[in-house]
């Protein structure tokens, strides 16, 4: 490089390199043998099947059912806490906690599958069964 050369190094001004925030610019000359339609189809890729839409009515129903389960679960857990710290049987603590965790996981799975028609209702029904099992354990302990 000589002093008369136009390609001198300047900090922050690299010619020919794309800037970090700039979008790539299309080529000014079209490629030989490819039409514009073929290029745009190749860029967009294959069309994927659309996901089923989430019904807001179904989501509201699952949320309302989950609210009832949460309120009943909090009430049963407060009573269960007194049984755990009190004179409850040895089997009560791990069984009661396991049933509560399984019930919460089933309710979460209902929210994860809310886009399908009958699946969240099955998960919410199974979560209700675990709450009823917790009430039965409170009665037995």
Residue 141 pLDDT: 84
pLDDT on residue 88: 86
The closest of 84, 130, 134, 137 to 109, measured between CA atoms, is 130
The DSSP code for 27 is P
For residue 94, what pLDDT is reported? 95
d(CA 87, CA 141): 9
Contact 134, 96 (CB under 8 A): yes
CA distances from 53 to 48, 49, 109, 110, 117 (A): 15, 12, 17, 16, 11
pLDDT number for residue 133: 97
Q: What is the mean pLDDT of each run of 10 residues along the chain (141 residues)?
A: 57 62 62 55 67 82 96 96 91 95 96 93 97 96 84
Q: What is the pLDDT of residue 31?
A: 58
Q: What is the pLDDT of residue 30?
A: 56
pLDDT of res. 53: 74
Domain ranges of the chain: 56-140
Please enumerate in sequence order all residues whose Cβ is within 8 A of that of 118, keeping only pairs 6 or more positions apart, or say none: none
How far is it, in rounded angstroms, from Cα 88 to Cα 133?
16
With residues binned 3-state (H G I as helix, E B as strand, rest as coil), the percentages for the chain, rounded to 5, are 60, 0, 40
pTM for this structure?
Answer: 0.61
- pLDDT value for 45: 65
């Amino acid at each position: 490089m000589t002093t008369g050369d136009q390609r001198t190094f300047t900090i922050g001004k690299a010619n020919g390199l794309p800037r970090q925030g700039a979008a790539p610019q299309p080529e000014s000359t079209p490629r030989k043998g490819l039409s514009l339609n073929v290029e745009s189809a190749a860029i967009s890729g294959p069309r994927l099947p659309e996901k089923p839409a989430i019904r807001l009515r179904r989501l509201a129903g699952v949320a309302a059912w989950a609210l009832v389960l949460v309120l009943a679960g909090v009430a049963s857990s407060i009573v269960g806490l007194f049984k755990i710290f009190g004179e409850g049987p040895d089997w009560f603590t791990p069984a009661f906690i396991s049933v509560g965790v399984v019930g919460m996981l089933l309710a979460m799975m209902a929210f994860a599958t809310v886009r399908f028609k009958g699946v969240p209702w099955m998960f919410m029904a199974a979560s209700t069964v675990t709450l009823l099992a917790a009430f039965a354990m409170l009665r037995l302990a």
